[in-house]
A = this chain, B = another copy of it.
Amino acid sequence: MHNCDKRRHPKHFPQDSPMAPRSASKSAVPSDKVGVICRALRRAIIEQALEPGAKLPEDSLGERFGVSRTIARHALGQLAAEGLVELRRNRIAVVATPSWQEARDAFDIRIELERLVVRQLAGKLTKSQVAELNAHVDAEDHARDGSDAVSIRLATEFHILLANMTNSPILVRYVSEVAYRCCLTLSLYSRPHSSECAINEHRAIIAALVKGDEAKVMSLMHSHLDSVASRALVAPAPRRGRDLLDILAPYAEESEGGRVVKMPKVVRAR
């Protein structure tokens, strides 16, 4: 097995998320064993403990979480439905590796959805909600020294927190999903810098929400996400040195003849 073992046991998965105890999977999950696994994997993915392309064998998952393959499998199904993992018949599930175009699409959708969020929220936040938002941004600020992973997670959770305040489960679900996808993208195409300036933009959004200026806050959110996207999607080519083969795979058919890798028998089946 080539590089699988390195990442098979990423750390020990954080078994419970501090925030988002409900979020997307509220109604989707039969029991909660599945829910626990989903949340853990989601978090591991957005913190980049699991990089795109990482393998997720049902056995290992089941063993790690103390459940049978059946449950692990079900969890993988849910995550696949969210677009976070890819399931191919008779093959090991892997963390999704969105193409550059898919990433771009995800951001486009995210912009529209989050504009909707702030439109619904403008001028309607309670004092305690504002306090909660400010506290969260403070936490983001505080985490600037820490790992990038935490910063990215917190930044994402800010947006989900906003969505939560709309009290629209559907909207929460979609915003969460698409935000997670965008996180995936970040770990694929972006450099480890990102978040810094985003914090101020978050503060500006809160201010505009409180002021109640719909148009203003929508445009703020738009440009905020636009800049996140453009910081992330600088070039349509993957930058960081990863699995090489795995990352190159999606480009197999549209290789424009640059430096060509040997690719022994990938050509055969694909």
* A residues whose Cβ falls under 8 Å from a Cβ of B: 25, 27-32, 34, 70, 73-74, 77-78, 80-83, 86-87, 89, 101-102, 105-106, 108-109, 112-113, 115-116, 166, 168-171, 173-174, 178, 181
Chain B residue at minimum C-beta to C-beta distance from A116: B112
CA distance A148 to B239 in the complex (A): 53
CA distance A105 to B81 in the complex (A): 21
Residues in B with CB closer than 8 Å to A29 are: 77, 80, 87
CA distance A105 to B170 in the complex (A): 7
Contact A87 B170 (CB under 8 A): no
- Chain A interface, >50% SS class: helix
Pick the residue among B27, B87, B168 that contacts A105 (CB under 8 A).
B168
Contact A170 B109 (CB under 8 A): yes
Contact A81 B81 (CB under 8 A): yes
CA distance A219 to B173 in the complex (A): 26
Residues in B with CB closer than 8 Å to A34 are: 77
Residues in B with CB closer than 8 Å to A30 are: 73, 77, 80, 87, 89
In this complex, which of A29, A83, A105, A174 has the most chain B Cβ atoms within 10 angstroms of its Cβ? A105
Pick the residue among B32, B77, B116, B169 that contacts A28 (CB under 8 A).
B77
Residues in B with CB closer than 8 Å to A27 are: 80, 83, 86-87
Contact A77 B74 (CB under 8 A): yes
Residues in B with CB closer than 8 Å to A81 are: 25, 28, 78, 81-82
Chain B residue at minimum C-beta to C-beta distance from A93: B30
Chain B residue at minimum C-beta to C-beta distance from A80: B28
Nearest CB of chain B from residue A196's CB, rounded to whole Å: 28
A-B residue pairs, 8 tightest by C-beta: A81-B81, A105-B168, A28-B81, A112-B112, A28-B80, A30-B87, A105-B170, A112-B116
CA distance A30 to B80 in the complex (A): 9
Contact B170 A102 (CB under 8 A): yes
Nearest CB of chain B from residue A55's CB, rounded to whole Å: 15
Nearest CB of chain B from residue A137's CB, rounded to whole Å: 26
Contact A173 B115 (CB under 8 A): no
Chain B residue at minimum C-beta to C-beta distance from A87: B30
CA distance A109 to B80 in the complex (A): 22
